Copies of this chain bind each other. A is one copy, B any other.
């Protein structure tokens, strides 16, 4: 059994059939309840541990229907369609007799094909050349990651002066851990809300739905290992209380490992 806090946080006990038991981890606490990235990774982990799984994750969508309360929960992961080389899953996180999160997952057997990467990693300083933020996170989960901001760190003055929603940040597990689909899913939610940056104003927020596309096969995962990922995130529009976010995660070699999107509720 791994002693890494991330493995502990996403751990699930099989209850038979499609059911798994889990519990929130204080190490990844957010302001209220657990960090959404770890919830997403936990939902994905139910698929990863399911004995009927075929292949590896290609797409994950998580809908955060309600705040997950600290404590125990149950995950139901159903393979709703199994094809020759792809499989479709519907996943639900139940807590207190209600659905708190839903997810859909597509897995597929890895294949080698024609390939090209058109979105090159931005030209940024190496992670070792970027200082750690002077202040560490206000919430516990942020301490589980090492983050080096190149652009678009949290505002230091909350004065309504924001003009861009773009962040570029090197990120990796603070305690080294080899990259896998679950840690990609978690880091895909590791960008603080774009609306805070764009407005330099702290308003109540919450991710409503997040999608992750996995472009890393076994070879790209292995060569990334415990290395840094470069994350870039940006919003396109804020309207009617919801903002989008599009983001990318590259490894240090410049391979685009994941593309991800989310829609985030904001108040007023």
Contact = CB atoms under 8 A, between A and B. Distances in A.
B58 A208 contact: yes
Classify the interface of chain A: helix, strand, loop or mixed.
strand
Interface residues of A, number: 60
Interface string A222-248: 000000000000111111111010101
Interface in A94-123: 98-100, 102, 104, 106, 108, 110-119
Interface of A: 58-59, 61, 63, 65-66, 80-81, 83, 86, 88, 90, 92, 98-100, 102, 104, 106, 108, 110-119, 164-165, 198-199, 208-209, 211, 213, 215, 217, 234-242, 244, 246, 248, 256, 259, 261, 263, 265-268
Given A114-B199, A236-B256, 19 more contacts: A58-B209, A61-B61, A61-B209, A80-B92, A86-B265, A108-B242, A113-B266, A114-B238, A117-B238, A118-B234, A119-B237, A209-B211, A209-B213, A213-B244, A215-B239, A217-B240, A244-B259, A246-B259, A259-B261
